[in-house]
Amino acid sequence: MVLDAPRTALRAAELDPPRPEVGEVLLEVAACGVCRTDLHIVDGELDRPHLPLVPGHQIVARVVEGGERFAPGDRVGVPWLGWTCGECRYCRSGRENLCDRARFTGYDRDGGYAQLAVADERYCFPLPDGYPDIQAAPLLCAGLIGYRTLKLAGDAERIGIYGFGGAAHIVCQVAVHQGRRVFAFTRASDQAGQAFALELGAEWAGDALGPPPEELDAALVFAPAGELVPAALKAVAKGGSVVCGGIHMSDIPALPYELLWGERVLRSVANLTRADGTEFLELAPRVPVKTQVETHPLERAGVALDRLRSGAIRGAAVLVL
């Protein structure tokens, strides 16, 4: 499925098979998760994709050939981080997620909305056994970047999660496993989302713009709505953090300094490091994280994106090949 230009529908196309270069693997895609970032790319909110583009960066695939790290038939996962330079000040200080020259899967290079894909083998992950392909796909971005977002909240006990989609439904399970208390914030009218959060171990679910039932130690904002930032700052206790987990967000309204005062911290999360991935994929089966997915055949990628845009998806959407 190909994006020719932002704000146009994806097009089913027959492309030449991609060829792996040195250090790359050719992959037969089994499943590819649909991420809100894909939506930001298709909708033109992330504005420098290589075009025409095959989107998709939560790829579960089998190795066909190429590289040295894996054998043909091995199952691997391909995340958003597709390549880094290894030389810049970020790469040299354990922060390859911030690499100046990073290349991202399904953005700078073709991704997994396809039968075949290529990836740099150094950025692929072996996947834990016990997760069928479609259940494993959302671990690769919703899970990984959600986990990094939670880590940046430190040892906060009372965690507010704003927006209860793909990342939140995974992070909620991890946070509860770690003994934290989870409070889920959704649109006031989203009764289904609130019920879903309670099923996954949140102890409270309610209106994101209303008052929290008690002070929070950290808030994780996954919904791309800037107006949630002042609401989340208002909900956290002194010294608490608000961590924004998305790659794009609407403008944050002006806010009184008083909301930040008291050593409250506001920060974003950018991308992932390979260390995040290794750590999270080791942790997920021990929780165990159970992903809720709805599946769509590849050619219905546009339908999956529409459902994500309208908030209709419970958990995560996955394209199956």
Identified binder of Zn ion from the candidate list 64, 85, 260, 287, rule CB under 5 A: 85
Least Å distance, CB 305 to Zn ion, is 13
CB of 238 to Zn ion, least distance (A): 33
Q: Looking at 26, 91, 156, 269, which residue binds Zn ion (CB under 5 A)?
A: 91
Cβ neighbors of 59 (< 8 A, separation 6 or more) are 27, 29, 31, 32, 77, 78, 105, 111, 112, 117, 119, 137, 140
Count of residues that interact with Zn ion, criterion CB under 5 A: 8
Min CB(249)–Zn ion separation in Å: 14
Q: Which of residues 5-64 bind Zn ion (CB under 5 A)?
A: 35, 37
Q: Is-contact 170 139, C-beta < 8 A?
A: yes
Among 99, 161, 243, 281, binds Zn ion (CB under 5 A): 99
Minimum Å gap between C-beta 141 and Zn ion is 3
**Do 267 and 245 meet the contact criterion of CB atoms below 8 Å apart?**
no
| Least distance CB 252 / Zn ion (angstroms) | 21
Q: How far is the CB of 64 from Zn ion (least distance, A)?
A: 24
Looking at 65-73, 98-106, 210-218, 265-273, which segment touches Zn ion (CB under 5 A)? 98-106
Work out how close the CB of 256 gets to Zn ion at its nearest, in angstroms, rounded to a whole number. Answer: 33
Between 59 and 242, CB nearer to Zn ion: 59
- CA torsion angle 57 168 311 52 (round to 10): -10
- Determine, following the binding rule CB under 5 A, whether residue 88 of this chain makes contact with Zn ion: yes
CA distance 210 to 318: 32
Of the two residues 62 and 103, which places its CB atom closer to Zn ion in the complex? 103
For residues 162 and 183, which CB has a smaller minimum distance to Zn ion in the complex? 162
Measured from the CB atom, the residue of 85 and 320 that comes closer to Zn ion is: 85
Burial label, 142 (beta-carbon count in 10 A; 0-12, 13-18, 19+) = buried
Binding range to Zn ion, per CB under 5 A, among 44-52, 79-87, 154-162, 249-257? 79-87
CB nearer Zn ion, residue 167 or residue 216: 167
Q: State the virtual CA torsion across 45, 208, 287, 237 in degrees, nearest 10.
A: 110
- Nearest 10 degrees: CA dihedral of 5, 6, 11, 17? 60
Nearer to Zn ion, 35 or 175 (CB): 35
Q: What is the DSSP string of 27-79?
A: EEEEEEEE-HHHHHHHTTSS----SSB-----EEEEEEE-SSSS-TT-EEEE-
List beta partners, residue 104.
81
How large is the angle between the packed helices 191-199 and 166-177, nearest 10 degrees? 30
For Zn ion, the binding residues in 119-158 under the rule CB under 5 A are 141
Binding site for Zn ion (CB under 5 A): 35, 37, 84-85, 88, 91, 99, 141
